[in-house]
Structure 1
Amino acid sequence: MDKNAQAARNKKIRHALMLVLLVILFLLFIFPFILVIINVFKVKADITVDPLALVGAHGFTLENFPEAMEKMEFWKVFANSAIVTIFSTIFTLLLSSMAAFVIVRNNWKLTALLFSLMIASMVIPFQVLMIPLVSLYGGILGILNHRATLIFMHVGFSLSMATFMFHGAIKTNVPVSLEEAATIDGCTRWQTYWKVVFPLLKPTIATVAIIDAMAFWNDYLLPSLVLAKKELYTIPIATQMFYGTFSTDIGLIMAALLLAMLPILILYLFLQRFIVEGVTSGAVK
């Protein structure tokens, strides 16, 4: 066997091994989701006895869904989660894209300092800020237990990362010549941003939207600190009521988790084609 044939054979073997490894990693990654799908259609006893069985001894059941929706007041908590997620995402997109536009197009020391501080803030763990946050907004200002407060906090914590992504996208993909042409045509600075720059950022907008929407929708820790009233609960907090001190109804938990993940999963399916393009749009070409 000559060297070329041996090299081709080795390449095929490496490719096959890599494919097998990727399949194994994929199965390990998706296994919890498969486990939820399998067990959501079983009664509690069947889940406890054999959680890996495709069908339980008591057969296929849909009772977990209406019971879970009733106990967690699904439509109320769904509306709370939707309001917080939608408004937090919209404000984050608008404010971060505007901030990135100003930072990129103005070579001021203040903008450079501001951008550096925003990048530095990304490495601060949220757990460090938990106690001061609750003490300030709850003990001193007394503005906890409001959806607006939670939206304000979500936007504040997500603004730095979103600005960083928009900064790279504008600097790489938006030519200054387009803005100069818009200015010559009589556009103001605001019109140039809104009519020329912002439409060119669609891939990054979709990427930031799906990343932040997933984070806001699935967040448990921050809403649990801010929202103590039951009528303001979001879906992640509402699912906590199924965990008892002495017993836990796994079937209802699985149903609640599936109901919680479906909206954000649908959003991801609609926007997934923009994800890779948006993430790499700020890379050096």
Structure 2
Amino acid sequence: MSKNVSMNRRASVAKSIIFTVGLVLSIAFVMPFFLVFVNAFKPIPEIISNPLAFPVEFTWDNFTQALEKMNFFMSLTNSVIITVLSVGALILISSMLAYYLQRTKNKFTKSTFLILVASMIVPFQALMIPFMSIFAPFVSLNNQAALIFFYQGFGVALSTFLYHGFISNIPMELDEAAALDGANDFTIFWRIIFPMLKPVTATVAIINSLWIWNDFLLPRLVLTPETQTLPLSTYLFYGQYMTEYGQAMAGLLLAVVPIIVFYLILQRQFISGISSGAVK
């Protein structure tokens, strides 16, 4: 009896610790969004005096000035074009590559998959200087196209890994049955396999959209002021001698709202993709 009581106490303590840690982490993650949200509606004196408080003098001036200074609609259009084309190309390339690597069993495909997985641990900062030196002529021709091309190189490994894990759970018998009916590999993939990849496609779309939409360093190196994205436009509020905190908070809020809405729309598919074996 005492042993059961002791086990119940340990279980209760463990649950309390897990709850406390989860609560602390939740506050840590939510706090930056809270600070951005409440300070976006304050005048500068209120932000400086008490950045944690809710607005006393509620104002929309920060948003009006931020929209004008950021050239918001141009930057939004650039972000949407770059993100949509980059993510669309990643879905197209990675899904077909993962299907080929998973269904074709030989030394070449195994080595290729291992190289792709290993490349995920290499940070962009380690490749930044030689990378930009090699591709500088390409960047000068069309910087948006160059940026989309670069995103394929940096995103295809993780996307292929996710697709590969999901496709491995699809029975090979489906391919064989379609082949017996006269379908070629192209038809089998697009008519049978790809429609079954909706959950993991949503996962790939969300993961890549988040980092491409919010990326600052690579667009900073590649894009010009005429083609700048929303994260780059928020940098305009930070000067050498003065920072427009209210406008900066409003600009950050305007920049993250579209991608948050996109995530909320696809979150059910995202969770389904994770739980169905997209990450093994």
TM-score, structure 1 as length reference: 0.92
Distance 1:198 1:75 in 2: 34
- What secondary structure, in the 3-state scheme, does the structure 2 residue paired with 1:61 have? coil
How far apart are 1:101 and its partner, in Å?
0.5
Note if contact 1:103-1:115 (Cα within 8 Å) is conserved in structure 2.
yes
Flag the 1:141–1:29 CA change in 2: closer, same or farther, 3 A.
closer
Map Cα deviations across residues 65-86 of structure 1 (whole Å, 9 max, x no partner).
Answer: 1110111100000000000000
Tell me which residue corresponds to 1:26.
26
| Amino acid of the structure 2 residue aligned with 1:270 | I
Gaps of 5+ in 1: none
How far apart are 1:13 and its partner, in Å?
3.9
Tell me which residue corresponds to 1:247.
242
Tell me which residue corresponds to 2:252.
257
How far apart are 1:99 and its partner, in Å?
0.3
Instruction: Say whether 1:148 aligns with 2:173.
Output: no
Distance 1:283 1:246 in 2: 47
Instruction: Say whether 1:270 aligns with 2:270.
Output: no
- What secondary structure, in the 3-state scheme, does the structure 2 residue paired with 1:143 have? helix
Note if contact 1:242-1:249 (Cα within 8 Å) is conserved in structure 2.
yes
Flag the 1:14–1:107 CA change in 2: closer, same or farther, 3 A.
closer
| Amino acid of the structure 2 residue aligned with 1:151 | I
Distance 2:15 2:140 in 1: 57
Pairing of 1:1-285 with structure 2 (within 5 A):
2-56=2-56, 59-138=57-136, 140-141=137-138, 143=140, 145-171=142-168, 173-227=169-223, 229-280=224-275, 281-282=277-278
Note if contact 2:99-2:164 (Cα within 8 Å) is conserved in structure 1.
yes
Note if contact 2:138-2:146 (Cα within 8 Å) is conserved in structure 1.
no
Map Cα deviations across residues 222-251 of structure 1 (whole Å, 9 max, x no partner).
Answer: 001111x21100011111111011110111
Distance 1:260 1:282 in 2: 29
Distance 1:268 1:218 in 2: 13
Flag the 1:247–1:15 CA change in 2: closer, same or farther, 3 A.
same
Alpha-carbon RMSD across the aligned residues, in angstroms, is 1.7
How far apart are 1:45 and its partner, in Å?
1.5
Flag the 1:136–1:283 CA change in 2: closer, same or farther, 3 A.
closer
Note if contact 1:137-1:144 (Cα within 8 Å) is conserved in structure 2.
no
How far apart are 1:283 and its partner, in Å?
5.4
Gaps of 5+ in 2: none
- What secondary structure, in the 3-state scheme, does the structure 2 residue paired with 1:55 have? coil
